Structure 1
Amino acid sequence: MPSSGETTTLASGHVAVPLEEEDEKRIFRNFPTFTDGASRLNPGRWLLLKGFKDVADRIYNFKLRESDVVIVTFPKSGTTWSQEVVWSMLHDPDLKGAPRSPLMDRPPYLEMEVDQWPTEVKFFVPPLFQAMCPGGDASRGTVVQMLEVEKEPRVIKTHLPLSLLPRDTLDKAKVVYVARNPKDLVTSFYEFSRTIKRLQFQGSLAEFADHFMRDELRYCPYWEHLREAWQKRNHPNLHFIFFEDLKKDSVREYRKLAGFLGSKLSEEQLARVMEHTSFSSMKGRDEALGKSDQMNSEGSFFRSGQTGSWKQKLSHDLESKIDAWTKENVADFGSDFKYFIS
């Protein structure tokens, strides 16, 4: 039977259903900071903290503008990197010091009010809210009010799948979707979840990967998240990027992204943005963030920033399990999808 709580029908048509009690116990025994439960949103089986249903309609009904750019990623797929690239291309390609709020506030995080915060901080009110919206009413939604006064073109980041975004997202705004190999993603997500104080994952990499493959981490299912975007990859308002391509041929991918955004960068501007947003530059420039009080002594928002680092972290057995899981899930993606296992 589901844990206590009622089902809720959302404006998107999804139905939020409390987790089965057995599933909830298995998931949350490894996450001591989360005690308020989670929901599955059907169709899709999206796993989100229970509080998400209280803001889901506000997000789905949010009015996007034609100048908006929405960056969509599954967690640990290059979100921080891509947001800085997009923001710099659109707002400061000459790097002449356009006003910049803190990196993690630029751009606003659409579902920040409820995602990844302990129960006692159910609705997180960012310090930037009071500065941007003096006299604002947090109960109306901090992020949507911040976006109302954000300078255009607005850049918005989210980990939500396309089906939970504002109803006219692809008709109105541009969407940049970044995908990452599941083996690199799971090792990065594990280190992040283990060392950030608001998550405090208690368990091994193998246990974390098991949660991942059972669709028991926030924003799962991973493959459905990718599938929704991959099926829309030819839509004129969606630009699908593989993290691995961005690392392997940055010049080509930056040019393609600039073209999609309509930013018309010169070669000199492109080179400046590439240098400014390289992993080493961002890690050095934002080390204060990387070692913020949100992390324990082992943690950092900026780790290796590489592809293939899973080879030093996954056991042979765990690698084989993820490969088998991948093979089961990519059969309908088509031959131009990168994460096939032969």
Structure 2
Amino acid sequence: MEAFCFADCTKSFFSSQLSKRTKNFNMESPLQKMLPSDLYKDVMELGGDFSEESIKKTSGGEIPSWKGFRLMPPFTPELAKYAYDNWSLKEGEVLLASYPKTGTNWMMAILRRLLYSDEEINLMKQLPLTMGVLESGSVKKFNIIDRLPIKRRMMGTHLPAELINLERLKKENAKVVYVMRNPKDQLVSFYHFAKKLVSKNPAIGRFINDGWEAYLALKGSVQRLKCLRVLPSGTLPGEWYPHHLLSWYKHKDDKNFYFIYYEDLKKDFKKELRKLAKFLGMDITEEKVSEIEEKCSFGNMKQEISSYSNDMKMFQTVNLRKGEVGDWKNYFTVAQSERVDAKIKDCLGSTDVTFTYCL
């Protein structure tokens, strides 16, 4: 039953976008004007990565995994393994690592504003979604990425540290940024993300339509989260967000790694942005700091959705909800909150990770 719901959800969520994106590519699109004709042709061919046939191939049967870690299609073990063995970011380039719904979308926008020119940002907005995610798409995309007219590349991943070739990254002197968010707001955000998927596929409704209590399934353990049974994301069976965080946090003292809290950005964006820029080896003016703060505000990011390619537009629409700290208080009972606290302590109690639950 798990695999059936998982495959149906994924297929309905992505394949409905294929005809729209193919139609867009067949016209003279902004992307066509930005890239050489041979490179544009190769990018167009990546449209098949979201075809119904391709999604069935990657999501049918058992939930795909590598080294025991389960991956949610269109995230595939094949892409993760290929990247591990054959591809790497280079000196100064950035890998953004995160668990879903912890601020990935926001941090991606911030890093792009730091690293890219306006022309490079406009280019990235027009590329297929898979071009910005390490473990998604087809092997062909890595050749395309290496040919893009971008000086300092960035890639996102939801993989745990065990599935990333960290030795190669460090040898190349690439940078790793890991964004963290308090787990209660993460759970609420994931809940609403899953609810949005219901419109793409009613099958997921059986996990969401019974409401918050059923979603959390806290009668036993927070590790039994129903959303994780439908949408595993780089975790071993029975694991969730804090285990993913811990896999990366073991490297917190490495000079190539930087950890940033979502809530700290909300509290003092400019201060945190300056610290992030310093880690990336960038001089940043106060004018640039203010510009990035405005461009990466929640309101502006919502307004910019229409400027993206079709699948990126869909992705932004599904992911942008409130962007607040403390929304969990509108959902958790005291008992539920205390249980999550206990689970977080069990997993992260030996670390100095300190979450902020209210501002």
1:127 is aligned to none
Q: Per-residue CA shift, 1:249-287, capped at 9, x if unaligned? A: 111100001111112111111111111111121122225
Count of aligned positions: 283
Q: Per-residue CA shift, 1:109-148, capped at 9, x if unaligned? A: 11122xxxxxxxxxxxxxxxxxxxxxxxx5xx13312321
Mapping for residues 60-99 of structure 1, pairs under 5 Å = 60-61=84-85, 62-92=87-117, 99=122
Mapping for residues 6-45 of structure 1, pairs under 5 Å = 25=1, 29=5, 32-33=8-9, 35-42=60-67, 45=68
1:208 is aligned to 215
After alignment, is 276-285 or 31-40 more displaced? 31-40
In structure 2, what is the Cα distance between the partners aligned to 1:143 and 1:154?
A: 14
Distance 1:179 1:252, change over 3 A: same
In structure 1, what is the Cα distance between the partners aligned to 2:270 and 2:134?
A: 29
In structure 2, what is the Cα distance between the partners aligned to 1:76 and 1:57?
A: 24
Q: 1:183: how far off?
A: 0.7
After alignment, is 240-249 or 280-289 more displaced? 280-289
In structure 2, what is the Cα distance between the partners aligned to 1:88 and 1:293?
A: 17
Provide the aligned C-alpha RMSD in A. 3.3
After alignment, is 241-250 or 322-331 more displaced? 322-331
Q: Per-residue CA shift, 1:267-326, capped at 9, x if unaligned? A: 111111111111121122225769989869xx7421110111111122334323322222
Distance 1:199 1:327, change over 3 A: farther
Q: Is the 8 A contact 1:47 1:218 kept in 2?
A: yes
Q: Per-residue CA shift, 1:25-70, capped at 9, x if unaligned? A: 457657742553214544xx52224882333321102132113111
2:233 is aligned to 218
Q: State the one-letter code of the partner of 1:153.
A: R
Secondary structure class of the residue paired with 1:38: coil
Distance 1:98 1:287, change over 3 A: closer
Which structure shows the higher helix fraction? 2
Mapping for residues 1-342 of structure 1, pairs under 5 Å = 25=1, 29=5, 32-33=8-9, 35-42=60-67, 45-49=68-72, 52-61=76-85, 62-92=87-117, 99-102=122-125, 105=128, 108-113=132-137, 141-150=139-148, 151-167=150-166, 168-172=168-172, 173-196=174-197, 201-202=204-205, 203=208, 204-210=211-217, 213-214=223-224, 216=229, 217-220=232-235, 221=239, 222-286=241-305, 300-334=318-352, 337-339=353-355
Q: Is the 8 A contact 2:94 2:175 kept in 1?
A: yes
Q: Per-residue CA shift, 1:204-251, capped at 9, x if unaligned? A: 333433496236432233222111222211211111001111111111
Q: 1:71: how far off?
A: 0.5
Q: Is the 8 A contact 1:183 1:310 kept in 2?
A: yes
Secondary structure class of the residue paired with 2:76: helix
Distance 1:190 1:171, change over 3 A: farther
Distance 1:30 1:41, change over 3 A: closer
Q: Is the 8 A contact 1:291 1:300 kept in 2?
A: no
Q: Note the residue ranges of structure 2 that are not aligned, 5 or more in a row.
A: 11-59
Q: State the one-letter code of the partner of 1:171.
A: K
